[in-house]
Structure 1
Amino acid sequence: MQIAEIYEKFKESKGVTTDTRKIGEGQIFFALKGEKFNANNFAEQAIALGASYAVVDEMEHAQNPQCILVDDVLETLQKLANFHRKTFNIPVIGLTGSNGKTTNKELLVRVLSKNFKVHATKGNLNNHIGVPLTLLEMTIDTEMAVIEMGANHQREIAMLSSICEPTHGFITNLGKAHLEGFGGEEGVRKGKGELFDFLKNSNGTTFVNQTDEKLTSLIKEKSMMLVVYYGADEFALKMTAESPTVSFQIPESEHIYTTHIGGKYNFDNMQTAFAVGRFFGVSHTDAAEAIADYNPDNNRSQVIEKGSNSFLMDAYNANPSSMAASVKNFGNLRTEKQKVVILGDMFELGEYSQTEHEALGKLTSEQDFDTVVLYGENMQHALVHLPKAYYFTDKFSLHNWLIEKAFTNTYFLVKGSRGVGLESVLTVM
């Protein structure tokens, strides 16, 4: 069956799903498969649960007339998403980067929503499956889309760009993320730069923070034409404080806006949302209010109060660049409370793991923290610079230690890779 034919069935459906546990009446079920699962086996179950059709790629599971047999289910999902995308003549903003993608997306959506009906990536559905699912949820009244794209190897951003076909885009930053998959920092630069390549070839518009030397160097290297620079012009935000949370002023106003998140790195995210919003006609005051109102609730720079203790929860993900930014920011935090950092392993670093964990240990040792706590096998390499740190390799011991210490009047930074799950410390504090 051709994509155009499947699209007609899609238009009559109530959306798509890849999970029989969350299937809705009238949805189309896409039977994806991977190394450890094969959803073709659940096609009949999906139909029994109310799916209008099940898209499969194995003949033995295509006997039901409601099953649609294709060569490759994932490829069909991606092509269908691109077909749907092409029916919209609206700005589609694609974004990627080493750090801050989701925070940038959330800030930008709030700013643009002041003027437009915006559709955006939910959560972190930013990969080869998440991007198609995001696009297929766009409704006919959508006026603008913001699509987050993640990658851990080269050519992935190129592929995702070909699916969502952004008309505008930006890279948050170029840092040390997924070094193992990208093959080092130069690989990260090349991989993330694939968004710039797509925008150049499609005559799209690129937004570039001109205070970021890595990004300005990359954009010049690619000789792009349609570039909007921001961050150092007369329309830039002015940061008045970065700790404990960012405060800023908008151009031609002395009013100070206070936000719910701290750190220079988060101010850069705000600068981007403000600039892109201004490009699309959002007023300065509307954009500033939207930025100031944003309060994260997803373990990304989230401040949580428990009794006399405060927690800066940044435990959704971690890489050398984001870890360094968080540690420096927490080191600059002005507070009367004692400061304790709880740092967990950084993953996907490959041969760079020992060097990067050692470097993190050195950076942490240079800050004025009352207590340093390290968790995970890889964090042993940070100990060379932190001989007085408390080191744990299992959650049970870490939790028991925290219970015994019974911290009060303390400000904690909690940061580690997603797989470490350091947000669990909140359950025992």
Structure 2
Amino acid sequence: MYTITSVLQILSSEHYFLADDSWTISELVYDSRKIRDVKESVFFAIKSSRDGHQFIADAYDKGIRSFVISDIGFSISPYPDANFIWVEDTLKAIQALAAVHRKQFDIPVIGITGSNGKTIVKEWLYQLLTAEYNVYQSPKSYNSQLGVALSVWNLQADHTLAIIEAGISRPGEMEALQQMIDPSIGILTNLGTAHLEGFSSKNDKLIEKWKLFKHATQILFSSNYVPDAKSIRSGFTWGTNESDDFRILNISTDHAGSKITARYQQEEIDFVIPFQDKASVENAITCIIVMIQLGYDFSVIEQRIKGLKPLEMRLQLKKGKNNCSIIDDTYSNDLASLQIALDFLNQQNQHTQKSLILSGFADAKFTTKIMDKLIRLLNNQLLKRVVLIDRSLFGIITAINSEVLCYESTAELIADLPRIDFSNEAILIKGARKFHLEEVSQQLVEKSHDTVMEINLKAIESNLIQYRSLLRKDVKLMAMVKAFSYGSGGFEVANVLQFNKLDYLTVAFVDEGVELRKAGVTLPIMVLSPHEGTFDDMITYQLEPEIYSKRILNAFLQFLADIQFVDYPIHIKLDTGMHRLGFMANEFDDALITLQKSPQIKVVSVFSHLVASGDTTQKEFTAQQIQEFKTLADRLESGLGYPVLKHICNTTGIVNWPDAQLDMVRLGIGLYGIDLSDNGLHLESVSTLKTTISQIKKLNKEETVGYDRKGVLKRDSRIATVKIGYADGYDRRLGNGIGKMMIAGQIVPTIGNVCMDMCMLDITDITAHEGDEVIVFPDLIQTAKDIETIPYELLVGISSRVKRVYFYE
């Protein structure tokens, strides 16, 4: 048990104020939106893309009374009953606390690093070892400087083995991770190109990663990836070399999986795994050699390794039946990952009611402390209903404040689903793999055809962080969520942006804003194209119109006068060169006079639109636009006599014209992973359009494929029909070989005309099967160029009948 006094001692701070030195600490908090147990929490004001000191008031209002901060000038007078500890660096402070906590445990600790496969190996080892060990695994991909600290902190006295992953992207990062993890067994999964841009060479990257193994008594790695690793420090190697400790003699694959033949200590052994791809085979071999090092018999390893299950390594948000939202997180269950999933549930504002379907923990050794923590966790959520599966959880029934339903098995719950009134709510399904809760998810999710658009909500957050890092601290951020968030979704994306505390959202039409309001989005919303028939809804749903002409200004003023409304927020659009919408310079004075004498409205912002902020040949015109805007905006503010937000930068403007950030910027296509600035931003892809192969045909040379016989075969061919057509948004211009799709990492062309609901691919040169997954746009930017359009058009053109599946990695 830690107290605020012991935390002070660990951090060795000489500057502190303790209002209550008996305050106990069990939770480390860095995000005021993710506070779970205020009575035993300490808040660390970490400075990253946003300064954590800005959220101390929020954390205090939610009940936190212990804080670790770094700003020496921060005033604590508004918080007289709170504890404060000043440190030089709050991130290093939380790492120091985690490192001390790690020293309390004398158990095997497996530390995993590498370019790829860390999380898969961790999860598979958890599957393989839980029969003998009470295994702690770091949650999901918590492998960063902060994530590792939070992971290590969750180690409990009853754990008998820990598996923690470590990720780095630049030199100098591993030392802190090593001190926190301090593994006794080290695993290097591979040494690929991920994050290589942070290092001068692959060898420098290896040297940095190797620092994790400073005190490890066993280091396991592949000599195929790191042939010179033994020169750095000896370890247990696997590979195809004669000198490898675990030598791979042969790997053969068929439709059922892969057979691995290896030699260990002069003995030849066979292992069968239910996977065919190279990455899964390598990850399975890593798991095998870990089990060998832990002393498992080959017969046990063989039996368990062939039972490995594929991993869905992400939490998914799906549209459910009866207007429900289904959060599917059914591949693992422990307290740490349950906390993460509940945080995501709390972000969903489209429903006021929220339910949890929870299985027992996989092979968990329950203690009173764990059960008490689970009870507190559930009671802090304001859940409408908790559905418990497995008798191991029945002991908490009377302590849960929500309605509780209990089932001994998943099959029993499925049989009873028709009786349960799941409607108009968000439902988190959280369970260990052995309970097969994916079958419950299948029952609750709304059915659709096999073409889906996968949206990575974590990637949206990552891209947002990148753009925020380019802004001055006082610059506000408006995000464009018009056109169904560029095809990525409506309230699902808006919820993520609201959770990340953006200042404004923008939609094109009033009905888009109404949908967001009905889904619980409370951020200010600007509407770009209001018209007279929508003014009622504008007021009802508190949407803020763009006023772009004298006609729309007068119409809105008259409407407000009729309902006797004053000070309604509006946004003035100036036309400085786009010549689409907005007041021209010669219309400005007349508009200003009208605004000055109209108490019905209050101008919140004035803005304009850059025409060519990403075109280096148009710099002079862009500079002219910015200067004209500044002049007119200053005149508007002076004429009104009160401050007005000024904004002109769009996505490329943020990058290319930082001096024009002014009071606010508008982030659009870059948020969704499309970098049109060509300035080296490492944006993450947000959306992936996928379909499947319906049928494969073998056709002879000179036969034709598709309407109008446009697809003429010049050789004997194999043709795959896939479930996407122009009704789904796959442009007809992409037919006849112009469009390219990807199957199992290989690019294949379209053949023949695109049909309404399907199209055909030439798969003659690759191996593919009916039912295989197909990536529709392997390179969205190139696809757009191929038909002489822009990525925007392809994204927004994807039909609403294509099911959106949201996931959070």
State TM-score, norm by structure 1. 0.67
1:160 aligns with 2:177: yes
1:220 aligns with 2:230: yes
Distance in 2 (alpha carbons) for counterparts of 1:291 and 1:221 = 34
Letter in 1 for 2:791: T
Aligned to 2:219: 206
Structure richer in helix, relative to its length: 1
**Judging changes above 3 Å, is the alpha-carbon distance between structure 1 residues 78 and 237 closer, same or farther for their aligned structure 2 residues?**
farther
The correspondence of residues 239-388 of structure 1 with structure 2, limited to 5 A, is 239-241=251-253, 246-248=257-259, 257=272, 259=274, 261-287=275-301, 288-289=303-304, 292-298=307-313, 309=450, 338=720, 364-365=746-747, 368=766, 373-374=776-777, 379-380=781-782
Query: CA deviation digits over 1:192-242, x for unaligned, max 9?
Result: 43232452x4353210224x2x3132x1331x23x1123556786975426
Structure richer in strand, relative to its length: 2
SS at match of 1:119: strand
Query: CA deviation digits over 1:116-171, x for unaligned, max 9?
Result: 11212111111010000000010011222211111221222233223322222121
Distance in 1 (alpha carbons) for counterparts of 2:254 and 2:11 = 48
Q: Larger relative CO (CA 8 A, sep 6+): 1 or 2?
A: 1
Letter in 2 for 1:297: E
Distance in 1 (alpha carbons) for counterparts of 2:294 and 2:22 = 31
- Does the CA contact (< 8 Å) of 2:271 and 2:305 recur in 1? no
Distance in 2 (alpha carbons) for counterparts of 1:424 and 1:13 = 41
Distance in 1 (alpha carbons) for counterparts of 2:788 and 2:138 = 39
Bigger drift between 30-39 and 161-170 goes to 30-39
Q: Aligned to 1:89, which of 102, 106, 109?
A: 106
Letter in 2 for 1:28: S
In the TM superposition, what is the alpha-carbon distance from 1:68 to its structure 2 partner? 2.5
**Judging changes above 3 Å, is the alpha-carbon distance between structure 1 residues 246 and 10 closer, same or farther for their aligned structure 2 residues?**
farther
CA RMSD in angstroms comes to 4.7
Aligned to 2:44: 31
In the TM superposition, what is the alpha-carbon distance from 1:254 to its structure 2 partner? 9.7
Letter in 1 for 2:282: D
Bigger drift between 305-314 and 60-69 goes to 305-314
Counting aligned pairs with the same residue, the percent is 22
**Judging changes above 3 Å, is the alpha-carbon distance between structure 1 residues 171 and 390 closer, same or farther for their aligned structure 2 residues?**
farther
1:75 aligns with 2:92: yes
**Judging changes above 3 Å, is the alpha-carbon distance between structure 1 residues 282 and 216 closer, same or farther for their aligned structure 2 residues?**
same
In the TM superposition, what is the alpha-carbon distance from 1:37 to its structure 2 partner? 1.8
Distance in 2 (alpha carbons) for counterparts of 1:314 and 1:39 = 28
In the TM superposition, what is the alpha-carbon distance from 1:78 to its structure 2 partner? 0.5
Bigger drift between 291-300 and 263-272 goes to 291-300
Letter in 1 for 2:285: Q
In the TM superposition, what is the alpha-carbon distance from 1:400 to its structure 2 partner? 3.9
- Does the CA contact (< 8 Å) of 1:174 and 1:189 recur in 2? no
The correspondence of residues 11-26 of structure 1 with structure 2, limited to 5 A, is 12-23=24-35, 24-26=37-39
SS at match of 2:131: coil
SS at match of 1:69: strand
**Judging changes above 3 Å, is the alpha-carbon distance between structure 1 residues 397 and 193 closer, same or farther for their aligned structure 2 residues?**
same
**Judging changes above 3 Å, is the alpha-carbon distance between structure 1 residues 192 and 27 closer, same or farther for their aligned structure 2 residues?**
farther
Aligned to 1:66: 82
Query: CA deviation digits over 1:174-209, x for unaligned, max 9?
Result: 1111233234xx2x432243232452x435321022
- Does the CA contact (< 8 Å) of 1:375 and 1:392 recur in 2? no
Aligned to 2:129: 112
Unpaired runs of 5+ residues, structure 2, are 13-20, 316-330, 332-437, 460-672, 674-692, 698-719, 725-741, 749-764, 769-773
Unpaired runs of 5+ residues, structure 1, are 319-332, 343-359, 407-422
Distance in 2 (alpha carbons) for counterparts of 1:11 and 1:165 = 29
Letter in 2 for 1:124: S
Letter in 1 for 2:215: S
- Does the CA contact (< 8 Å) of 1:40 and 1:61 recur in 2? no
1:397 aligns with 2:794: yes
- Does the CA contact (< 8 Å) of 1:208 and 1:229 recur in 2? yes
**Judging changes above 3 Å, is the alpha-carbon distance between structure 1 residues 16 and 290 closer, same or farther for their aligned structure 2 residues?**
farther
**Judging changes above 3 Å, is the alpha-carbon distance between structure 1 residues 17 and 116 closer, same or farther for their aligned structure 2 residues?**
same
Distance in 2 (alpha carbons) for counterparts of 1:312 and 1:229 = 41
Q: Aligned to 1:134, which of 151, 163, 171?
A: 151
SS at match of 2:111: strand
Query: CA deviation digits over 1:38-73, x for unaligned, max 9?
Result: 222333432442335222223425444432222221
- Does the CA contact (< 8 Å) of 2:135 and 2:163 recur in 1? yes
- Does the CA contact (< 8 Å) of 2:190 and 2:222 recur in 1? no
**Judging changes above 3 Å, is the alpha-carbon distance between structure 1 residues 198 and 14 closer, same or farther for their aligned structure 2 residues?**
closer
Distance in 2 (alpha carbons) for counterparts of 1:202 and 1:255 = 32
Aligned to 1:40: 53
Letter in 2 for 1:56: I
**Judging changes above 3 Å, is the alpha-carbon distance between structure 1 residues 392 and 170 closer, same or farther for their aligned structure 2 residues?**
farther
**Judging changes above 3 Å, is the alpha-carbon distance between structure 1 residues 299 and 136 closer, same or farther for their aligned structure 2 residues?**
closer
Aligned to 1:229: 237
**Judging changes above 3 Å, is the alpha-carbon distance between structure 1 residues 340 and 425 closer, same or farther for their aligned structure 2 residues?**
farther
In the TM superposition, what is the alpha-carbon distance from 1:263 to its structure 2 partner? 0.5
Letter in 2 for 1:45: D
Distance in 2 (alpha carbons) for counterparts of 1:128 and 1:341 = 43
Q: Aligned to 1:98, which of 115, 127, 147?
A: 115
**Judging changes above 3 Å, is the alpha-carbon distance between structure 1 residues 311 and 424 closer, same or farther for their aligned structure 2 residues?**
closer
Distance in 2 (alpha carbons) for counterparts of 1:239 and 1:310 = 34
SS at match of 1:129: helix
- Does the CA contact (< 8 Å) of 2:251 and 2:258 recur in 1? yes
- Does the CA contact (< 8 Å) of 1:119 and 1:146 recur in 2? yes
**Judging changes above 3 Å, is the alpha-carbon distance between structure 1 residues 383 and 47 closer, same or farther for their aligned structure 2 residues?**
closer
- Does the CA contact (< 8 Å) of 1:33 and 1:39 recur in 2? yes
Distance in 2 (alpha carbons) for counterparts of 1:11 and 1:140 = 21
Aligned to 2:607: none
Q: Aligned to 2:68, which of 38, 52, 55?
A: 55
The correspondence of residues 403-414 of structure 1 with structure 2, limited to 5 A, is none
- Does the CA contact (< 8 Å) of 2:174 and 2:211 recur in 1? no
Distance in 2 (alpha carbons) for counterparts of 1:162 and 1:7 = 15
- Does the CA contact (< 8 Å) of 1:153 and 1:181 recur in 2? yes
**Judging changes above 3 Å, is the alpha-carbon distance between structure 1 residues 119 and 237 closer, same or farther for their aligned structure 2 residues?**
farther
Letter in 1 for 2:56: A
Distance in 2 (alpha carbons) for counterparts of 1:172 and 1:216 = 14
In the TM superposition, what is the alpha-carbon distance from 1:12 to its structure 2 partner? 3.6
Query: CA deviation digits over 1:282-304, x for unaligned, max 9?
Result: 3445444266342312259x999
In the TM superposition, what is the alpha-carbon distance from 1:426 to its structure 2 partner? 8.1
